[in-house]
A and B are shown apart, each in its own frame.
Chain A
Amino acid sequence: MKGDMRYSYPLWQMGFIVLLIALTTIIGFTADYAKSTDSFIFQFTLEGDSFWYMAAWLAVLVFYMILFKWKLHQHNKRNPDHQMKFTSFKPQEYMADDELFEEVTRRATQKAYSYFTVALPLLATMYLILPIGKFGMLNALLLLAIGQYFVYYRTIRRYMAEDAV
């Protein structure tokens, strides 16, 4: 599985979500809402520290994107039979090389599904009970998505990392 990015793809996705959490946090701290009966205004101002946080975030995003695209290019070069596309709607981590891989993908997606059947109602209950702000809610959803990739990755890792001889 060396050089096969389908295996590490959930980790890359988790990285992207962490970056999204950072973005919503930066914007969340600087945003202002103005709500009246007939209008809604949302604005955020990047001044002082928040400007530098946003600049640093953009720099990290660009670096991460370059690294990601480079890894993707390497994967496609090494695995011409399993080309990956960043723009595809189909989750790129799915593997269907043979019946073991299909079974592993099935088990991992099944676990991710089970995770959501528990996690979503729990989160909804938390939203109902706790005074969580808009950006807190957004970040909690993003954390949930990280959990999904973690569940998926943990399942496939057992099968794919092992070098059975």
Chain B
Amino acid sequence: MLKNKVRELRARHEFTQSNLAKMVGVTRQTIGFIEKGEFSPSVTLALKIAQALQCDINEVFWLEGEE
């Protein structure tokens, strides 16, 4: 299962969901559902989010348990 700490890192940068969504070119809902772990982003979007949060992608997203 794909886990992430987008919410935590976003809060650290004091970004709102809307800010981050705008930076990576998606809707606010998408960021919300990624944070809740209910939607797994594509590799491209995951990379964009990591870039926007100025982190390595492995710090933001990781696999946990069995796929």
Q: Which residues of A pack against B, CB within 8 Å?
A: 1, 97-101, 103, 159-160, 162, 164-165
Chain B residues with a Cβ under 8 A of chain A: 17, 25-33, 35-36, 39, 41-42, 45
Contact B42 A99 (CB under 8 A): yes
Determine the residue in chain A with the shortest Cβ distance to B35. A164
The CA of A23 and the CA of B20, in the complex, are separated in Å by 50
Q: Which residue of B lies closest to A1 (CB)?
A: B29
- Establish whether residues B27 and A101, one from each chain, have CB atoms under 8 Å apart when the complex forms: yes
Contact: B42 with A100, CB < 8 Å? no
**14 sample A-B contacts, Cβ–Cβ < 8 Å, listed by A number:** A1-B29, A97-B26, A98-B25, A98-B26, A99-B41, A99-B42, A100-B27, A100-B29, A100-B30, A100-B39, A101-B30, A159-B33, A162-B32, A164-B17
Contacts of B36 in A (CB 8 A): 164
Say whether A164 contacts B32, CB under 8 Å: yes
Q: For residue A159, which residues in chain B have a CB less than 8 angstroms away from its CB?
A: 29, 33
Q: Complex formed: what's the CA distance from A1 to B28 in Å?
A: 10
Please give the distance in Å from A105's CB to the nearest CB on chain B: 13
Interface centre among A99, A159, A165 (most CB of B within 10 A): A99
Q: Which residue of A is nearest B34, CB measured?
A: A100
Nearest CB of chain B from residue A162's CB, rounded to whole Å: 8
Docked-complex contact A98 and B27, CB < 8 angstroms? yes
B45 x A99 contact (CB < 8 A) = yes
Residues of B within 8 A of A101 (CB): 27, 29-30
Chain B proximity of A97: nearest CB distance (Å)? 5
